[in-house]
């Protein structure tokens, strides 16, 4: 995988060496193969495989046409098309250092920027133009972009451009370029739409398929975390706190989910920004800049809004909601683990979606470790380890710091100073969340004396004990060990709390005695099921009808079939109800009175004559 094997121009080899490249990636080796020097290429490679440097190396000999450096800038010699503004600007940055020794002038034409600046830059001349489809078409219609001298066209992330609806714009741009140009298409997947585009605008293209070394996303560790639905957001918070990644991105499926999660993370003092379709281009730029300069460490985004963004220090991808298919899973995860760096892709999986997640991972051909979400204790332990490993302990103590340290030691003990340092260190970090999980069955004999409370929520509200338990812990300042039995009824729920913790619980919920979402609490003077709730539960399931075979046990107090029949026969019968003032009951044996005369004078038995059907016949 030596760089010298492909006989790159000396200026490009020097640029790669200065950037720290000692070898090329598989996709870079494939597209720089001398046998493909003049061929159109249709390349499928995963995100983060080094495609930008790859096509920069591949088109360099074509646009230089034997020269060592570029000449005076005039009409563009190369055109690179990217789906989003962020990706286009990233490509421009990559080509800037790669082509620096070639004396190349590179211009960008992207949406959201001042077109007048772009027109002035194009008027001065450019060797390479990098742009988005919509803005490039605008320049073509205005006559400010001349593609007559283009020797190479690159379509980066071609599948995303088609997904975003840029097919007509791409066709307009490709028709404006010379027919003898070289066309390179790069795409993570090659659906039929890409094959059709390649067939229409490429000449006998060579299909290049590059698999990642060591398998699919070999530098990404996939983790799946099985959580109860009420713990999903808490698990995300603990996951972000556990890793403390320089950059992390959390994917949601909808804008509403993005806004809700951003609000929750902001309330937990996590430096977070949002990326969704409702943001303007200026707001997107500010959000991404905050991620790059360290003012924010977490980006919550939808799949569409995150297309084309590149964060060099991205170490963690969190799927707050499951991706819709395997391709989306791979595309999301491919944001991390780039250029040989390691990354983590964590899926938050509600227990009801575990089977769907396993199918998704199988379709994506990746293996995930099923682990528990980091607990609050695990986060605290990780904080302590980071504190003890902080580089500050190895730094030299300056004179001013030494003087202040001496003053502290004169006034306080070393133990108090160390404790104050620990508190200051931990106060700069948000507290982790307690993950309640499903309540474990308890042994009533080991729980201790308890006091019962009634909650104004029950089965009709579709609640569950695993929802009630964290609600009590959050609102009442309780732990799982303080809560005993939880018994669901139709309209309310009975909860047992340790008697020693009951006063603190009542104080925490206040005089209104409201938990969350309007759920009220009512203390009970006695246990709701009597002194022996186990016997009460057994009695609820006792058969209500007497046994049909043989007499029941004497101690049950039930009657035999014969005794029951005798009592029924001896019981007095109730008189038939009649309305006040109604006709008296007809004596037994007396005939029923004749009915009223009908329309034709006939009489029928019964209380009313039957009305004839249809109209009477005339004549």
Which CATH number characterizes residue 255's domain?
A: 3.40.50.300
The values of phi and psi at residue 220, to 5°, are: -115, 125
Judgement on whether residues 184 and 159 belong to the same structural domain of the protein: yes
CB atoms < 10 A from the CB of 472, how many?
27
d(CA 77, CA 146) in angstroms, rounded, equals 10
CB atoms < 10 A from the CB of 563, how many?
12
Average pLDDT over residues 470-499: 87
With 90 as the cut, is the pLDDT of residue 224 above it?
yes
Whether 435 is in a domain gets the answer no
Q: Which string of DSSP letters, residue by residue, matches 301-367? A: EETTTTTT---TTEEEEEESS--SSHHHHHHHHTTSS-TT--EEEEEEEEGGGHHHHHHHHHHHT--
d(CA 580, CA 553) in angstroms, rounded, equals 48
Q: Which helix (H) or strand (E) holds 454?
A: strand 450-455
Whether 604 is in a domain gets the answer no
How many residues are present in the chain? Answer: 619
Higher per-residue confidence, 601 vs 75: 75
Judgement on whether residues 317 and 462 belong to the same structural domain of the protein: no
Whether 581 is in a domain gets the answer no
Judgement on whether residues 14 and 98 belong to the same structural domain of the protein: yes
pLDDT per position as a tens digit, 349-392: 988 888 899 999 999 888 999 998 999 999 999 988 888 888 88
Q: Which string of DSSP letters, residue by residue, matches 493-536? A: EEEEEETTTHHHHHHHHTTTTB-STT-BEEE-SS-TT-S-HHHH
Whether 512 is in a domain gets the answer yes
d(CA 232, CA 346) in angstroms, rounded, equals 12
Query: Which pLDDT score is estimated for 28?
Result: 87
Judgement on whether residues 229 and 182 belong to the same structural domain of the protein: no
Structure tokens at 497: 């709390």
Judgement on whether residues 246 and 168 belong to the same structural domain of the protein: no
Please say which residue of 145, 180, 209 terminates a domain: 209
Higher per-residue confidence, 334 vs 173: 173
Structure tokens at 585: 């009951």
Average pLDDT over residues 32-58: 84
Average pLDDT, the chain: 81
Judgement on whether residues 67 and 164 belong to the same structural domain of the protein: yes
pLDDT per position as a tens digit, 85-129: 888 888 999 999 999 999 999 999 998 788 999 999 999 999 999
CA distances in angstroms from 195 to 14, 16, 55, 189, 476, listed in the order given: 36, 33, 19, 10, 61
pLDDT per position as a tens digit, 299-334: 999 887 777 677 777 899 999 999 988 888 888 888
d(CA 56, CA 12) in angstroms, rounded, equals 9
Whether 582 is in a domain gets the answer no
Judgement on whether residues 203 and 260 belong to the same structural domain of the protein: no
Judgement on whether residues 197 and 225 belong to the same structural domain of the protein: no
Whether 558 is in a domain gets the answer no
Judgement on whether residues 359 and 298 belong to the same structural domain of the protein: yes
Contact between residue 251 and residue 321 where contact means Cβ atoms under 8 Å apart:
yes
Q: What residues make up the domain containing 458? A: 444-536
Dihedral of alpha carbons 415, 419, 424, 425, sign: positive
Whether 462 is in a domain gets the answer yes
Q: Which residues touch 585 (CB under 8 Å, ≥6 apart)? A: 576, 578
Query: Which pLDDT score is estimated for 441?
Result: 46
Query: Which pLDDT score is estimated for 556?
Result: 43
pLDDT per position as a tens digit, 261-295: 999 999 888 999 998 877 777 788 888 888 888 88
Contact between residue 416 and residue 278 where contact means Cβ atoms under 8 Å apart:
no
Give the CATH number of the domain where residue 462 resides: 3.30.70.330
CB atoms < 10 A from the CB of 312, how many?
12
Contact between residue 210 and residue 26 where contact means Cβ atoms under 8 Å apart:
yes
d(CA 174, CA 197) in angstroms, rounded, equals 10
Query: Which pLDDT score is estimated for 340?
Result: 62
Judgement on whether residues 203 and 252 belong to the same structural domain of the protein: no
Domain count, the chain: 3
d(CA 478, CA 500) in angstroms, rounded, equals 11
Dihedral of alpha carbons 355, 356, 362, 367, sign: negative
Torsion of CA 552, 553, 558, 559, to 10 degrees: 60
Q: Which string of DSSP letters, residue by residue, matches 48-79? A: TSSHHHHHHHHHHHHHHTT-SS--S--S-SEE
Please say which residue of 514, 536, 558 terminates a domain: 536
Judgement on whether residues 262 and 366 belong to the same structural domain of the protein: yes
Whether 496 is in a domain gets the answer yes
d(CA 519, CA 457) in angstroms, rounded, equals 7
Torsion of CA 232, 234, 236, 237, to 10 degrees: 170
With 50 as the cut, is the pLDDT of residue 8 above it?
yes
Average pLDDT over residues 141-166: 88
d(CA 31, CA 186) in angstroms, rounded, equals 11
d(CA 49, CA 215) in angstroms, rounded, equals 12
Judgement on whether residues 232 and 126 belong to the same structural domain of the protein: no
Q: How many CA atoms lie within 13 A of 295 on its CB side?
A: 7
Please say which residue of 149, 177, 209 terminates a domain: 209
Instruction: Single out the residue of 347, 350, 353 nearest to residue 370, CA to CA.
Output: 347
- Strands across the sheet containing 272-275: 272-275, 298-302, 247-252, 314-319, 343-350, 220-227, 368-371
Quote the pTM value: 0.55
């Amino acid at each position: 995988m030596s760089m010298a094997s492909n006989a790159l121009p000396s200026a490009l080899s020097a640029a790669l060496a200065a950037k720290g490249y000692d070898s090329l990636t598989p996709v870079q080796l494939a597209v720089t193969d001398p046998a493909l020097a003049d061929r159109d290429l249709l390349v499928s490679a995963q995100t983060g495989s080094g495609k930008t440097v790859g096509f920069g190396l591949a088109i360099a000999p074509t646009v230089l046409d034997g020269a060592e450096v570029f000449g005076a800038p005039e009409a563009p010699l190369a055109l690179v098309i990217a789906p989003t503004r962020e990706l286009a600007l990233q490509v421009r940055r990559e080509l800037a250092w790669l082509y620096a020794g070639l004396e190349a002038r590179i211009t960008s034409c992207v949406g959201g920027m001042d077109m007048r600046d772009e027109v002035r830059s194009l008027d001065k001349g450019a060797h390479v133009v990098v742009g988005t489809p919509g803005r490039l078409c605008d320049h073509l219609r205005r006559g400010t972009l001349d593609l007559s001298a283009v020797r190479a066209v690159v379509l980066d992330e071609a599948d995303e451009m088609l997904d975003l609806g840029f097919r007509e714009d791409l066709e307009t741009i490709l028709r404006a370029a010379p027919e003898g140009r070289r066309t390179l298409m790069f795409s993570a997947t090659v659906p039929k739409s890409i094959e059709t585009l390649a067939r229409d605008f490429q000449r006998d293209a060579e299909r290049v398929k590059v698999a990642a070394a060591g398998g699919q996303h070999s530098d990404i560790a996939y983790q799946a975390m099985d959580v109860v639905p009420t713990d999903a957001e808490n698990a995300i918070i603990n996951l972000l706190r556990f890793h403390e990644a320089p950059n992390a991105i959390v994917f949601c499926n909808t804008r509403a989910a993005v806004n809700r999660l951003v609000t929750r993370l902001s309330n937990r003092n996590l430096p977070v920004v949002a990326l969704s379709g409702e943001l303007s281009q200026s707001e997107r730029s500010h959000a991404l800049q905050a991620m790059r300069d360290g003012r924010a460490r977490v980006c919550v985004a939808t799949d569409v809004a995150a297309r084309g963004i590149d964060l060099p220090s991205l170490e963690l991808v969190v799927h707050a909601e499951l991706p819709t298919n395997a391709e989306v899973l791979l595309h999301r995860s491919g944001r991390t683990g780039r250029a040989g760096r390691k990354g983590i892709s964590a899926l938050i999986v509600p227990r009801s979606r575990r089977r769907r997640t396993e199918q998704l991972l199988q379709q994506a051909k990746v293996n995930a470790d099923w682990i528990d979400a980091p607990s609050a204790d695990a986060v605290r332990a990780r904080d302590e380890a980071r504190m003890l490993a902080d580089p500050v302990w190895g730094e030299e103590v300056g004179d001013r710091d030494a003087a202040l340290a001496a003053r502290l030691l004169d006034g306080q003990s070393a133990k108090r100073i160390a404790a104050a340092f620990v508190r200051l260190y931990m106060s700069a970090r948000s507290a982790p969340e307690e993950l309640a999980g499903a309540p474990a069955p308890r042994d009533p004999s080991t729980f201790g004396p308890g006091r019962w409370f009634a909650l104004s929520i029950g089965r009709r509200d579709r609640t569950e004990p695993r929802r009630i338990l964290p609600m009590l812990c959050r609102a009442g300042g309780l732990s799982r060990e303080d809560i005993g039995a939880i018994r669901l009824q139709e309209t309310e729920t009975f909860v047992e709390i340790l008697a020693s913790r009951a006063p603190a619980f009542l104080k925490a919920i206040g005089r209104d005695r409201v938990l969350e979402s309007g759920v009220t609490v009512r203390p009970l003077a006695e246990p709701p099921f009597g002194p022996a709730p186990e016997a009460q539960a057994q009695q609820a399931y006792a058969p209500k009808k007497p046994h049909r075979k043989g007499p029941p046990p004497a101690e049950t107090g039930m009657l035999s079939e014969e005794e029951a029949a005798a009592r029924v026969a001896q019981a007095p019968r109730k008189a038939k109800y009649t309305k006040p003032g109604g006709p008296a009951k007809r004596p037994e044996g007396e005939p029923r009175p004749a009915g009223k005369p009908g329309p034709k004078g006939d009489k029928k038995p019964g209380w009313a004559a039957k009305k004839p059907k249809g109209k009477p016949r005339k004549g």
